[in-house]
């Protein structure tokens, strides 16, 4: 009996059983493949996420740059418009002052100024007005003093001109009366010509 027992324990494992024992576990293999696939999918998703973030950041930078450019352009446009208004208002006051010469002796210089203040479009009216004004001064021996003058830009027009409202109060003396005060308001259209604002039209404004 001892011989049989020894013989049974020493018998080698059959080849078929050895192969079965040595074969890899199919369940573990599938788990390994799933893990690899999951890792690749995770890396792919991370790559896409990073690409999306970069795209969003780039788009935000473009939008910020565009917004900054628009803001700068708007600021420059507003600054140019404000500067134009200042120049137009100053020119309107200067030109309207020329129509209120202190006396006949100053009227010659005022006539020249009135003509210089007119655009090519308004030149005929300016020449006519300056001539009539000189005749009126001489006829009644007029003496004029500007008491107050106020002016402000009213609106911008499509042709680049600016409407300026000018309110003036003057004290006038002549052969018939002394120190008569007169007030009037004018809408003066100022148009830039060769970089200088000139009168392109004048309209009286009722109170």
Q: How far apart are the C-alpha atoms of 205 and 164, rounded to whole Å?
A: 11
Are 138 and 108 contacting, i.e. CB atoms less than 8 angstroms apart?
A: no
Residue 63, domain member (yes or no):
no
Burial classification of residue 62, based on how many CB atoms lie within 10 Å of its CB (0-12 exposed, 13-18 middle, 19 or more buried)? exposed
Per-residue pLDDT tens over the stretch 112-164 = 999 999 999 999 999 999 999 889 888 989 999 999 999 999 999 999 999 99
Could you tell me which residues come within 8 angstroms of residue 194 by beta carbon, excluding any fewer than 6 positions away?
none
User: Would you put residue 141 in left (φ > 0), alpha (ψ -120 to 50) or beta?
Assistant: left
The answer to the question of residue 173 being in a domain is yes
Whether residue 135 lies inside any domain: the answer is yes
> Is residue 95 a part of any domain in this protein?
yes
pLDDT (tens digit per residue) in 8-63: 444 444 544 444 444 445 444 454 455 555 555 555 555 565 566 666 666 556 65
* Confidence band of 174 (pLDDT split at 50, 70, 90): confident
Q: What CATH number did the domain enclosing 133 receive?
A: 3.10.450.540
Identify whether 51 is part of a domain. no
Local confidence band at 207 (pLDDT 50, 70, 90 cut-offs): low
Residues 88, 93, 96, 97, Cα dihedral to 10°: -150
- The domain tally of the chain equals 1
Would residue 27 count as lying in a domain? no
pTM for the structure as a whole: 0.62
* Domain that includes residue 188, residue range: 73-204
Note whether residue 43 is domain-resident.
Answer: no
Sequence-distant (6+) residues with CB within 8 A of 22 are none
18 falls within a domain: no
């Amino acid at each position: 009996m001892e011989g049989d027992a020894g013989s049974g324990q020493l018998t080698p494992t059959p080849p078929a059983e050895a192969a079965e024992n040595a074969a890899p576990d199919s369940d573990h293999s599938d788990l390994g493949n799933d893990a690899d696939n999951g890792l690749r999918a995770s890396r792919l998703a991370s790559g896409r996420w990073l690409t999306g973030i970069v795209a969003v950041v780039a788009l935000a930078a473009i939008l910020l740059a565009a917004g900054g450019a628009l803001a700068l352009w708007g600021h420059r446009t507003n600054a140019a418009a404000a500067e134009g208004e200042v120049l137009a208002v100053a020119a309107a006051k200067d030109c309207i002052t020329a129509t209120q010469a202190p006396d006949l002796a100053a009227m010659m210089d005022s006539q020249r100024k009135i003509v210089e203040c007119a655009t090519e479009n308004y030149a005929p009216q300016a020449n006519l007005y300056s001539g009539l004004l000189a005749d009126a001064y001489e006829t009644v021996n007029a003496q004029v003093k500007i008491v107050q003058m106020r002016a402000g830009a009213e609106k911008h027009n499509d042709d680049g001109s600016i409407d300026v409202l000018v309110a003036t109060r003057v004290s006038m003396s002549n052969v018939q009366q002394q120190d008569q005060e007169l007030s009037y308001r004018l809408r003066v259209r100022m148009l830039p010509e060769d970089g200088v604002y000139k009168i392109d039209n004048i309209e009286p404004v009722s109170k």
